[in-house]
Amino acid sequence: MAKINIVMKEYRITNFADLMQALRENPEWLEELRRIVLTQELLELPKRFEEFRQRVEERFDVLEKQVQEVEKKVDEIRKRLDKDVCSLKGMWLEMKVKKNVPSFFSEYLLNAKTIGQDKISKALSSAVEKGIISKEERKDVFRLDLVIEGTLLSTEEPVFVAVEVSYTIAENDVQRAARRAEILKKATGRKVLPAVVGYRIAEGTQKLITKKGCLQVLVPE
């Protein structure tokens, strides 16, 4: 059998630099040195730390999702509350307008007053019987928040006013007031103007208010 002679390089270690040079040239020595110097627990520390980091990240992901869900629910609750508050304020405003019509419409009308439901009902029923308006149109007018009458300051004409009251005046409020004013005009043969009352006007609605010839009353909050 052939003999294999392995000649290992000898190192003269006199300082730390010599030691580092020897370890760099012999990586297996470095690994052995680690095993001698470090305990098994320390050797496993990087692995354990990585496992711990992963668990922490997973928990943070779960926590983040939970926070997002809570934020979503809070936002939904806030929106519902805002909607309910606006609805209540709108109802309260409607009551205030009905209670003091002359004050709210003093910019447009003289002697403004609410028209009684009986008077409106008779006029609409008569118009239905004569085929001037349909039953559906009659129902539509009954959904008006308020019908008032008075004399226009600008022309001194007697007029009816079909009023829609809302916390925020939007395009649909204007459309309803204009449509119902037109039906009421057909039913009564009188000049009827649409009107909207609210605390604020939704963006883009002012142009439609002007186009429909709608009276607008903005109330300070």
- Reported as a single tens digit per residue, the pLDDT across 16-41 is 787 778 778 887 877 777 776 666 66
Please work out, in degrees rounded to the nearest 5, the angle formed at the alpha carbon of residue 207 by the alpha carbons of 146 and 105: 30
Average pLDDT over residues 43-71: 80
Q: Does residue 213 carry a pLDDT above 90?
A: yes
Q: Residue 196: exposed, middle, or buried by beta-carbon count in 10 A (0-12, 13-18, 19+)?
A: buried
**Chain-centre distance for alpha carbon 217:** 25
Q: Work out the angle between the directed axes of helices 16-25 and 27-37 (0-180°, nearest 10).
A: 120
Same domain as 112, residue 32? no
Whether residue 5 is contained in a domain is answered as no
| CATH number reported for the structural domain that contains residue 174 in this entry | 3.40.1350
Is residue 74 assigned to a domain? yes
Mark whether 152 and 175 lie in a shared domain.
Answer: yes
Per-residue pLDDT tens digits for 145-191: 999 999 999 999 999 999 999 989 999 999 999 999 999 999 999 99
When the pLDDT of each residue in the chain is averaged and rounded to a whole number, the result is 85
Position 7 scores a pLDDT of: 52
Residue 29, domain extent: 14-87
